[in-house]
Structure 1
Amino acid sequence: MRRSRAAAKRDTRNIALATFMLTAVAAIVAAAGYFYFNRSPGLDKRMCPAGGPLGQVVLLVDKTDPLSFTQKNAFTNFLDGLVVRGIPPGYLLTVFALGGDYKETATPLFDLCNPGTGAGASELTSNRAHLKKHFDEQFRKPMLQLADELQTTQSARYSPIFEMLQMTAINGFRKENVNGPHRLIIVSDMLHNTPEYSMYRGTLDFESFHSSNYGRKISTDLGGADVELQYLLTSPQLQTRRQLKFWEDYFAASGGRIVAVRPLEG
């Protein structure tokens, strides 16, 4: 028994309606998926987790003397390695420059969290390509653009390392009050030089220094931070084991501890 024309038209309309509904549902799912996978979940304006940074790394770069050609290359590679591999996702990276006048460099040049690259994340719950692009454009690129600003072409008269360490403690660790691991990385020859005290002359006895009026004035609290020294070997005759012992004692008295010492080539 042949079906009527009305029944055939009705079937055609039903098929068209079903096709339209399936297309609409697919479009809604695709749009929802796009916004879900491409959002930055739970990050604040500094790309930190909504609950606060998971830890903090403070980088202090000494720019009181020009870098040699070799040091410039080593420094650039160090910065890139630090950004890509040295800052865990969710950690805050705070960067200071040490100039001849510490009052001019007392605030951070960079203060952002690593948003993560998506490495190891499941494609079912995240868009790894989007996360990698976000990391490169919003975290890695701005940090590497600071490389020139963290260097100088002329030597400064003074190198106030103690005063700058106070600023990193005050405007870095204590200002943020991050509830997590703290790490301080210093790129410097560690040769403090001011009218009050100079490592280019006089004694390197920490106890005598620490008990002096100046030593008490520049004392600070690093709150248990692990300290990594990236040594710029500008004056090897002065950068001896005795000098390193001075800094070991200084950081111990300041609530920190040296966990690594690495010469920067050049």
Structure 2
Amino acid sequence: MARRSSRSRSRRRGGETGKHVVGIGIIAVCLVAAVVVGIAMTRIEPRPTLDKTSLCPTDGPRSATVILLDASDVLPDVTRRELMTYLFDAATAVSEHGLLEIRLLDPNSPSGMSVFSKCNPGDGSGLDEFTGNPRLAKKRWDEGFRKPLEAALNGSMAQPSESQSSPILSTIQSISVDRFTGSRAASMPKTLIVVSDLIEHGPGYSQYSGDLSFDRYRKSEHYKRVRTDLNGAEVSFRYIQRVTRRPINSATHIQFWTDWVKDSNGQLVSARKLQGAG
């Protein structure tokens, strides 16, 4: 009887020891998991506080994209449709928390007419279900960014107006001062997209007369007044082809703007003609 009792106590002690080992193992796994999760959480960049109106971070946007749209003349239907697709794609490609601004060329406003200025708040596609709220983010993107953007693009080309001047260069100068200048802007991506026939025309300098060389422009008083520092911004042109009384050589014209970007401390990304002419 004593031997059996001793063996029973031994089995009980062995079973209890096994339970302790399993328990310690579970606790160890939990501790490791907690440490891993804690490290992961510390590496997740906290989401910035957004301004309710502009949807930009309260400490400023992370990038700046400005679209200058010359809608002074009626566009052919094919040009308009191609342009709308391009602009919407370019606008929605703006990085999360980056500023998108759309300005219309307006001879009565040196800086152009701003018709849209908001940051992309993010559509929630990169948010985790547990640490974020992707549905709420998608709703905010739709209601606060996408829909106002579509309305601004449609409205921009709905009512073209005749103008006796085309101050493209001075408007870009104002855009650069407003959006591409300063210590914060120096370290963030900057993009300028110009949609226009690109025919600069005003009392000090006009591309409707004289040659289109950059050298002629550089010798003018107009050059001194509107010379611009783009501070390294990337520049894209979408060239609207116009039927004018005096035909303009588009290749020479685009070369002028290529030289202008270089002289203005910018980086030319692309210069492409839109389909159609009007």
State the TM bucket, normalised to the shorter chain. 0.7 to 0.9
Query: 2:112 touches 2:171 (CA, 8 Å); kept in 1?
Result: yes
Out of 119, 125, 135, the residue aligned to residue 125 of structure 2 is 119
Out of 146, 156, 181, the residue aligned to residue 150 of structure 1 is 156
* Residue 116 of structure 1: how far off its partner (Å): 0.3
* Residue 247 of structure 1: how far off its partner (Å): 0.7
Query: 1:248 touches 1:257 (CA, 8 Å); kept in 2?
Result: no
Matched residue of 2:152: which SS? Answer: coil
What is the count of residue pairs matched by the alignment? Answer: 225
Equivalent residues in 2 for 1:9-158, closer than 5 Å: 42-45=49-52, 46-84=54-92, 86-103=93-110, 106=112, 108-151=114-157, 152-158=159-165
Return 231-240 or 151-160, whichever deviates more.
231-240
Percent pairwise identity: 31
Matched residue of 1:109: which SS? Answer: strand
List per-residue Cα deviations over 1:45-104 (Å, max 9, x = no partner). Answer: 3222344211110111012212112222222222321232x211111112211023343x
Query: 1:74 touches 1:265 (CA, 8 Å); kept in 2?
Result: yes
1:245 maps to 255
* Residue 134 of structure 1: how far off its partner (Å): 0.6
TM-score normalised by L of structure 2: 0.74
List per-residue Cα deviations over 1:95-154 (Å, max 9, x = no partner). Answer: 211023343x53532221100001132222222222111101101111111124422334
Query: 2:105 touches 2:113 (CA, 8 Å); kept in 1?
Result: no
List per-residue Cα deviations over 1:208-254 (Å, max 9, x = no partner). Answer: 31132121111111111000111112249425221111111111111
- The residue type paired with residue 190 of structure 1 is L
- Distance, in Å, in 1 between the alignment partners of 2:192 and 2:160 is 25
TM-score normalised by L of structure 1: 0.77
State which structure, 1 or 2, has the greater radius of gyration over its C-alpha atoms. Answer: 2
- Distance, in Å, in 1 between the alignment partners of 2:183 and 2:117 is 10
- Distance 1:229-1:239 versus aligned 2 partners, 3 A rule: farther
2:24 maps to none
Mark the runs of 5 or more structure 1 residues left unpaired by the alignment.
Answer: 1-39
CA RMSD of aligned residues (A): 2.2
Mark the runs of 5 or more structure 2 residues left unpaired by the alignment.
Answer: 1-46
- Distance 1:106-1:173 versus aligned 2 partners, 3 A rule: same
2:239 maps to 231
- The residue type paired with residue 186 of structure 1 is V
